[in-house]
Structure 1
Amino acid sequence: MLHAAVRFYDRIPVLVRLLVIIMLILTTFSYLLHVLEPQVFPTFFDAVWWAVVTSTTVGYGDFVPETVTGRIFAMILILFGIGFVLFFVTNLASSTVNEQHRWQKGTLPSSFSNHYIIVNWNERARQFIDQIQRAYPERQILLIDDGLVESPFHNSPRLQFLKGSPTMQSVLRQANVRKARALVITSGLEGTEQQADAQTILTLLTAKHYCDNIYTAAEILTSEQLPNARHAGADELIASNMISSLLMTESLEQQGIAETITLLLDVEAAPYLRSMPCPEDWIGRTFEEVSRLAASMDILPIGVSGEKKTNLHPDKESVLQEDQSLLVLESSR
C-alpha cells in the first residue's frame, strides 16, 4: 500500500506536489492560529487570509499574532512558507519558459486533435498551410520536419512544429497521429527525386502501420513510384511533376487552361471544385437526375469518384452508388 502511494506520488508533476504542500502548510497554520488566538482571528478565513499574505511577503498587518506561541508559529510559517511559495513561483516561471523553448525547438508533444499533419517543410508545405488557414481558419496544423532547427511559425496556437523523422513511430505518437484528420506528405528537398519518393513511401508505410485508418495524401515525383505508393496505402496521390507537365503542355495549345485549373482549386475563387458525399436520397438515381437536383442548389456535378477511381462527365444513365462521391463546382464556399 505504501509502495503504491509512493509510486503515485512520484508520478505527480513537481508543480502539483509543491501546490499541495503549500496548501497543507497554509491550512495547518491557519487552523493553529485560529484555535490559539480566536480573538485576533475570529474566523478560519481570517486566519487563512493572514497565512496567505504572510507567506507571500505581502504583510498588510491587518492581523498580527499577539501571543508568544502564535508568533513562534508565525515565524515558522515565514521561514517555511515563503521558501515553498518562492520555490513554487520560480518553478512555475521556469516551466513556462521551458515549455515555450521546447515548443520553439519542436520537442513538445502535440495535444492537437482532428488536425492536419504535414510532413517536410518546403514551399509547397508553406502554401498548403496558407491555403488551409484561409479556407478553414479554425483547423489546427502540425508540421513534422527533421531538418529545421526551430519552428517556422510565430506565436500561433493553431500551428505547431515537431522536430523528428516521420518514419519513427515515436514521432508519430508525439504528433498525435491517431487523432489527426489527415496526413499530408510532401517530397523532401534532400537527394534525388527517387530518394525523395522512397522516403515518402517509407513514411506512408510507417504511418499506416501505426494508424491504419489515417487518411493520407502523398506527393510523388516519379511516375514509376506511383504503384508502390498505392500499395503502401496512400489514399490520395499527387503526382506534382506530372501535373505540372500536363498543365504546361495544354497551356501551349489551349490558352487559359493552366489559369482555369488554378482558379478551380483556389480556396478564395468562385466557382470552386470540391468533392461531396453523395446524399442519401440521390443514391440509386441516374447522373442526369442528380444533375437536375443539384442545379436547384446552384451546384454543377462534373464527375463521380469511388474505389480510388474517378470518372469525369459520366454517362447520363449511369447510376450513383452508395460508396461514391460527387465532384462538383459550387459557386460559394
Structure 2
Amino acid sequence: MIHYTIRLYDRIPVLVRLSFIITLILFFFAFLLHYLEPETFPTFFEAVWWAIVTSTTVGYGDFVPTSTLGRLAGMVLILFGIGFVLFFVQNLASATVDEKRHWQKGTISSSFNNHYIIVNWNERSRQFIEQIQRAYPERSTVLIDNTLSDSPFYNSNSLQFIKGNPSFQDTLKKANIRKARALIITAELKETEQSADAQSILTLLTAKHYCDDIYITVEILTSEQLPNARHAGADEIIASNIISSLLMTESLEQQGIAETITLLLDVEATPFLRSIPCPEEWIGNTFQEISTQARKDAKLLLGISKNGQTTLNPEESTVIHEDDSIFLLDSSR
C-alpha cells in the first residue's frame, strides 16, 4: 500500500504536489495559531489569513501572534514561505514557458473538439486554413506536418501544430482524430507525384483503421492511384492535376469559365455552391417540383447525387429519395 501510494504520488505533476504541500503547511500553522492564541485568532479563517500573508512575507500586521510559541511558529512559517512559495512561483513560471515552447514545437496533444485536421504544410493547406478562419471562425484546425521545426501559427487559440508522421497512429492520436470533424490529406509536393500519392494513401489507411467513422478528403495527383484511394476508404477525392487540366482546357475555348468555377467554390462568395442531404419535405417529389420550391427561397438546383453517382440537371421527372444529396446555388448564408 505504501509503495503504491509513493508511485501514485510520483505520477502527480510537480505543481499539483507543491500546491498540496503548501496548502497543508498553511492549514497546519493556521490551526496551530488558532489553538495557541484563540484570543488573537478567534476564528480559523482569520488564522488562515494570517498564515497566507505571513508565508508570502506580505505581513499586513492586522493579526500578530503575541505568545512566544506563536511567534516561533510564525518564524518557521516565514522560512517555509520563502522556500516553498517562491519555489512554487518559479515552477509555475517555468511550466508556463515550457508549455509554450512545446506548443510551438508541436509536441502537445490537441484538446480540440469538432475540429478539422489537415495533413502537410503547403500553399494549399495555408489557403485552406485562411478560408476556414474567414468563413467559419468558430472552427478549430490542427495541422500535422513532419518537416516544420516550429509552428507556423502565432497567437491563435484555434490553430495548433502537431509535429509527426501522419501515417503513425500516435501522431493522429495527438491530433485528437476521434473527436475531429474531418481529415484533409494534401499531397506532399517535395516528393515525386507517385511517392506523394503513396504516402497520402498510407495516411488514409492509417486514419481509417484508427477511426473508421472520420470523414476524409484526400488529394491525389496521379490518375493511376484514384482507384486505390477509393478502395482505401476515401470519402472524397480531389484529383488536383485532373481538375487543373480540365480548367485549362475549357478556358481556351470558353473564356471566363475558370474564374466562374473558382467563384462558385469561394466560401465567401454569393451565391455559393452547396451539397445538402435531401430535406424531408422534398422526399418523393420530382426534380422539377423541388426546383420550383427552391427558387422561392433564392436557391438554384444544379443536380443530385444517388448512390455516389452525381447527375447534373437531371430529367425533370426524376424522383428524389431520402438518401439523395442535392447540389444547389444558395444566395443566403
TM range (shorter): over 0.9
* Unaligned runs of at least 5 residues, structure 2: none
User: Identity of aligned pairs, percent?
Assistant: 69
Aligned twin of 1:45? 45
Say if 2:162 is the partner of 1:162: yes
Residues 316-325 or 182-191, more deviating? 316-325
Residue by residue, what CA displacement relative to the aligned partner does 1:69-107 show, whole Å, maximum 9, x if unpaired?
A: 111111221122331111111111111110000010111
Q: Deviation at 1:260? A: 0.4
User: What is the one-letter code of the residue matched to 1:299?
Assistant: K
Aligned twin of 2:298? 298
Task: Report the secondary structure of 1:327's partner residue.
Answer: strand
Q: Deviation at 1:305? A: 1.8
Cα distance in 2 for partners of 1:284, 1:329 equals 21
Cα distance in 1 for partners of 2:97, 2:308 equals 47
Say if 2:143 is the partner of 1:134: no
Residues 183-192 or 7-16, more deviating? 7-16
Cα distance in 1 for partners of 2:318, 2:43 equals 82
Aligned twin of 2:79? 79
Task: Report the secondary structure of 1:162's partner residue.
Answer: strand
Q: Deviation at 1:3? A: 4.2
Output the TM-score relative to the length of structure 1.
0.97
Residues 237-246 or 42-51, more deviating? 42-51
Cα distance in 2 for partners of 1:294, 1:3 equals 70
Aligned twin of 1:88? 88
CA-based RMSD: 1.2
* Correspondence list, 1:144-293, <5 A: 144-293=144-293
Residue by residue, what CA displacement relative to the aligned partner does 1:35-86 show, whole Å, maximum 9, x if unpaired?
A: 1112222222221111101111111222221111111111221122331111
Q: 1:56 and 1:177, CA in 2 relative to 1: closer, same or farther beyond 3 A?
A: same
User: What is the one-letter code of the residue matched to 1:329?
Assistant: L
Q: Deviation at 1:206? A: 0.4
Cα distance in 2 for partners of 1:306, 1:21 equals 65
Q: Deviation at 1:4? A: 4.0
Task: Report the secondary structure of 2:322's partner residue.
Answer: coil
Aligned 8 A contact 1:56 1:85 in 2 = yes
Aligned 8 A contact 2:57 2:81 in 1 = no
Cα distance in 2 for partners of 1:84, 1:287 equals 74
Cα distance in 2 for partners of 1:289, 1:189 equals 46
* Unaligned runs of at least 5 residues, structure 1: none
User: What is the one-letter code of the residue matched to 2:151?
Assistant: S
Aligned 8 A contact 2:298 2:332 in 1 = no
Aligned 8 A contact 1:120 1:186 in 2 = yes
Q: Deviation at 1:9? A: 2.6
Aligned 8 A contact 1:162 1:175 in 2 = yes
Residue by residue, what CA displacement relative to the aligned partner does 1:124-157 show, whole Å, maximum 9, x if unpaired?
A: 0001001111110010000000000100001100
Runs of 4+ in 1 over 4 A off after TM superposition: none
Cα distance in 1 for partners of 2:14, 2:35 equals 32
Output the TM-score relative to the length of structure 2.
0.97
Aligned 8 A contact 1:36 1:70 in 2 = yes
Aligned 8 A contact 1:25 1:81 in 2 = no
